[in-house]
Structure 1
Amino acid sequence: MTITRKFFFIQLLIALILVTGMYLFVQWSFDRGFIRYIDEHENQLAESLVIELSAIYAEDGGWDKLAAFPERWLQLVTSSVGLPLTGDRLRHRAERLMENGWPPRHLPHPPAGLPQPFEWRTRLLDAEQRMIYGPRDQPLRELELRPIKNPDGKVVGYLGVERESAMFSAARDLQFSRQQNKAYFVIAVIMLLISAGIAMPLAQRFVDPIKKLTLATRKLASGDYSPRIDHQTNDELGQLARDFNELALTLSQNESLRRRWVADISHELRTPLTVLLGEIDALRDGVYELDRNSLNSLHQEAQLLSRLVNDLYELSMSDIGALDYHKVPVDLGAAARDVLEGLTQAFEDKSIQMETAGLDESRTIVYADPDRIDQLLSNLLQNTLRYTDDGGRVRLTLARKGDLVRLQLEDSAPGVTPAELPKLFDRLYRADSSRNRKSGGTGLGLAICKNIAEAHGGALKAESSALGGLSLTFELPLMKETPA
């Protein structure tokens, strides 16, 4: 079963439950209200009739006059329900009342299942509960007696109202209730049909974005990252569509980066291999003699290729979190001094003036892997040595900043343009557009350094240097206590 059909049947089921519940509740409420209304209406009629009879008793001085004139009694009880008898009808009914007693026995009966009207069930009794108008043999237990009092509060008679039988009580509203039930049933059917008519297009409207998302996901899985979902709403489906579009864009960008990465690696590996094979072919063909210079050239290209492969391996291990880190308390200033001492001669060979500040002033203990920290510092200094012009300046500064220790390496010209600064940590990127390996290295050193810094909870950023070149700032959190 499709989602559209499921959603349609769920909505239809909800509508059916609501309509059925409403139908039953309205029917129950109407029945109870209707019966209560009839009871209250009859109570009001009886109370008003008691007041009238009390006034008649006071005016006549007893029940004799009322008992002698049945027309007066008929007019009284029929007027109480708003259907007063007059003229010939009154006289004719009075005559029959004298002949047959009260209530009349030969009047037309109400429809089957319905009780007799209120005026037919009314009886008049004197103070000793003797029947004045009503069947002489009717048991008093069948009557609901209401006392009739004179102005002094003395009971002078009773108004008796015949109680309805259980069947009449249950069936009193039967006919009207049946009519209402039919109307409710028709309304319920109409509401269900309307609900079904609304549920189907609503279900389709609800499911259409899901269908689009399903189709776009299949294209995404097949390698087509171009589909986008246009669903401009603020609900969960709208958020899902925006997330899908973001995912498709990210996958597309990653695919572009992957292709560029493969192309760059191919280029990086092909160039030293081409040079290496070319020199070997030249030696085989006798173009070059196999001497120390040619072997040194071959060794240099092989070293470059080996360094590139090693850097690629380390970078891939760092990306997947597989590099081993054995962290211990490390004095960052002492580590920087040790790495710098190993490169002092190389800086002197290029006549580069090295300035240091803060390396010996205070202990800056960090929790780090000493080998990885040495690798990071060595890469940074070698990068500076490789790019800084002969006769330039380099300044290495170590300082504490709150809970952090900051190591800043600045060099002189050449500098890096502001547009190139964010790209320095990209893989295989060199600011040198000629991509000359004699000066540019493999283009992976700074990317490896950034991964090492982040693995230690630190950061590495590049800025323009006040000396005219590049400034690389390495920050690490200070160790608060020695780990166990």
Structure 2
Amino acid sequence: MLKTFKLKIFLTLFFVSSIALSTGFFIRHYLIEEINKYLEGKREDSVYILIGEIEKEFAKNLTFENIDRLWLADLEARLHIKFVLKDEDERTIYPIEKTDLSEFQNEYPLFYNRKQIGIIKIRFDKEERLEVLIDRSEKILISALFVSVIVIIILSISLSDKISKPIKELTKGAIEVSNGNLNIDINIKSNDEIGRLSKEFKEMIKKLKLLEDIRRRNVANLSHEIRTPLTVIKGNLMAILDGVIKNDDSTIKSLLEEVDKLERITEDIKTLADIDSSLLKLNLEDVNIKDLTLKLVNNITPLLLEKNLTINTEIEDLIIKADRQLYSQLLLNLLTNAIKASKEGDNIEIKIDSEKKELIIRDFGVGIDDKDINFIFERFYKKFKDGSGIGLSIVKDIAIAHNWNIKVNSRKNMGTEFIIKFKNS
């Protein structure tokens, strides 16, 4: 993994540098082309000036015989042009010394009164400064290429080590966690994305430790709750067989109560399994939750009467995309939780806000401790002694499956408010 990571960084840096250098070569080529175009135009202007000056000088005497050679030399120096002047009979007028004509490849005719009076062969002086500029720029860019490659190699090694080290540590930690080892320490100190990822990873480990502790304790409690009625039932049955106690109505009633406890526990576990299965295949449809909510409130009236509770409703029509059965389960769990938390004679409020697309259930009961508030939606976490610790976890699972938001506000001995925000309605 590390070698691949280094290679990716190297290739990325090399690609960026290559683009930069290619841009440099392109700009260099473009500038040289523009300079050459400029010089070409300047040379053409010089040629026309030279031809014009020589034709004007010929017009004075109508011959090249007495033309001033020093003037021609000065003209040559001034225009930066080397030339050979010949008359109409191909006799060399200038320069006097013998010249290699093979170097003079550009030839122009000279005219006077529309009659050719001679020719001029031209050779331009080399632009030494331009040649030096081109040569130096090429050397600089080639040197920059080699330096860039060296710098890229050094940077790729340095950056890959710096970046891959915390990633390697996080990967190692993730493997340890996947193997069930939560006693690991991730020590990454940085303020970048990797640092934030490390912080979240450590928070996850911390929460996993707490959840594992909660799970162990509550599984033990659940086992105890199952074992207790079983022990009572077994003890009573053995006592009946031994003739220690009578098999009368009182004994049977006591045994039935213990069976009811077992039935509630097994029903809770079955409900949890059924919910998990249902969440995998949501039966979404347009549901007016006002009707479902009022129907469920009516169904739980006997539970309300047991504690002399009153439900105040402020329910508006609201149609959402939902699994009808799972919405009913969510609402039932929240109302059951509110009933358990409420004191004798309390009120429970239910509100459906069609504008905000929210369901709000508020009780004025015992409230939730600050230390418990972050764990109430976790499985096996029990807020009430007579619960199984799965009711609110089911609420959370249903909300997540529907892409709904769930929020809880609570104060000890002041009550609790659950808010479900329907995002897909």
Please classify the TM superposition score into its range, dividing by the shorter chain length: 0.5 to 0.7
The residue correspondences of 1:262-411 to structure 2 (distance < 5 A) are 262-276=215-229, 278-279=231-232, 289=245, 300-301=257-258, 303-315=260-272, 317-318=274-275, 321-322=279-280, 330-340=291-301, 342-343=302-303, 347=306, 352-357=307-312, 379=333, 382-383=336-337, 386=340, 388=342, 392-397=344-349, 401-402=353-354, 408=361, 410=363
* Residues 82, 228 of structure 1: alpha-carbon distance in 2 compared, 3 angstrom cutoff: same
1:196 corresponds in structure 2 to 149
8 Å Cα contact 1:380/1:446 also seen in 2: yes
Determine the C-alpha separation between the residues in 1 that align with 2:234 and 2:226.
Answer: 12
Equivalent of 1:162 in 120, 125, 133: 120
8 Å Cα contact 2:347/2:363 also seen in 1: yes
- Tell me the SS of whatever aligns to 2:346: strand
Determine the C-alpha separation between the residues in 1 that align with 2:327 and 2:25.
Answer: 75
Determine the C-alpha separation between the residues in 2 that align with 1:39 and 1:28.
Answer: 16
How far did 1:448 drift? 3.1
How far did 1:276 drift? 4.4
Aligned residue-pair number? 390
8 Å Cα contact 1:407/1:473 also seen in 2: yes
* Residues 216, 445 of structure 1: alpha-carbon distance in 2 compared, 3 angstrom cutoff: same
Determine the C-alpha separation between the residues in 1 that align with 2:420 and 2:145.
Answer: 69
* Residues 475, 143 of structure 1: alpha-carbon distance in 2 compared, 3 angstrom cutoff: closer
* Residues 275, 178 of structure 1: alpha-carbon distance in 2 compared, 3 angstrom cutoff: same
- Give, as a single letter, the amino acid of the residue that structure 2 aligns with 1:215: K
How far did 1:46 drift? 3.7
Deviation digits for residues 123-169 of structure 1, max 9, x if unmatched? xxxxxxxxxxxxxxxxxxx652154xxxxxxx5998744245xxx68
Deviation digits for residues 153-208 of structure 1, max 9, x if unmatched? xx5998744245xxx68xx7499987776545433432322322333234345544
1:114 corresponds to 2:93: no
How far did 1:266 drift? 2.0
Deviation digits for residues 93-149 of structure 1, max 9, x if unmatched? xxxxxxx97436872536x96339xxxx9xxxxxxxxxxxxxxxxxxxx652154xx
2:46 corresponds in structure 1 to 41
- Give, as a single letter, the amino acid of the residue that structure 2 aligns with 1:448: I
Q: Unpaired runs of 5+ in structure 1? A: 84-99, 122-141, 148-154, 233-237
Deviation digits for residues 396-439 of structure 1, max 9, x if unmatched? 45566445686756455x5555665565444444446xxxx3xx
Determine the C-alpha separation between the residues in 2 that align with 1:458 and 1:106.
Answer: 101
- Tell me the SS of whatever aligns to 1:109: coil
How far did 1:73 drift? 2.0
8 Å Cα contact 2:219/2:380 also seen in 1: no
1:103 corresponds in structure 2 to 93
- Give, as a single letter, the amino acid of the residue that structure 2 aligns with 1:307: R
Equivalent of 1:448 in 372, 394, 398: 394
How far did 1:222 drift? 0.9
8 Å Cα contact 1:50/1:146 also seen in 2: yes
How far did 1:301 drift? 4.8
* Residues 107, 313 of structure 1: alpha-carbon distance in 2 compared, 3 angstrom cutoff: farther
* Residues 161, 471 of structure 1: alpha-carbon distance in 2 compared, 3 angstrom cutoff: same
Larger radius of gyration: 1
Determine the C-alpha separation between the residues in 2 that align with 1:197 and 1:30.
Answer: 33
Determine the C-alpha separation between the residues in 2 that align with 1:249 and 1:102.
Answer: 95
Determine the C-alpha separation between the residues in 1 that align with 2:39 and 2:294.
Answer: 96
* Residues 18, 373 of structure 1: alpha-carbon distance in 2 compared, 3 angstrom cutoff: closer
Q: Unpaired runs of 5+ in structure 2? A: 79-89, 178-183
Deviation digits for residues 295-342 of structure 1, max 9, x if unmatched? 6656545544443343244345545714776876635334312320x3
- Tell me the SS of whatever aligns to 2:388: coil
How far did 1:263 drift? 1.2
Determine the C-alpha separation between the residues in 2 that align with 1:315 and 1:418.
Answer: 26
* Residues 262, 461 of structure 1: alpha-carbon distance in 2 compared, 3 angstrom cutoff: closer
Determine the C-alpha separation between the residues in 2 that align with 1:186 and 1:476.
Answer: 67
1:77 corresponds in structure 2 to 72
2:415 corresponds in structure 1 to 470
- Tell me the SS of whatever aligns to 1:441: coil
Determine the C-alpha separation between the residues in 2 that align with 1:36 and 1:442.
Answer: 94
2:82 corresponds in structure 1 to none
Determine the C-alpha separation between the residues in 2 that align with 1:181 and 1:344.
Answer: 94
TM-score by length of 1: 0.59
- Tell me the SS of whatever aligns to 1:270: helix
- Give, as a single letter, the amino acid of the residue that structure 2 aligns with 1:81: E
- Give, as a single letter, the amino acid of the residue that structure 1 aligns with 2:103: L
- Give, as a single letter, the amino acid of the residue that structure 1 aligns with 2:8: I
How far did 1:9 drift? 5.0
8 Å Cα contact 1:15/1:192 also seen in 2: no
8 Å Cα contact 2:293/2:331 also seen in 1: no
Determine the C-alpha separation between the residues in 2 that align with 1:449 and 1:423.
Answer: 13
How far did 1:13 drift? 4.7
Determine the C-alpha separation between the residues in 1 that align with 2:95 and 2:367.
Answer: 124
Determine the C-alpha separation between the residues in 2 that align with 1:143 and 1:313.
Answer: 106
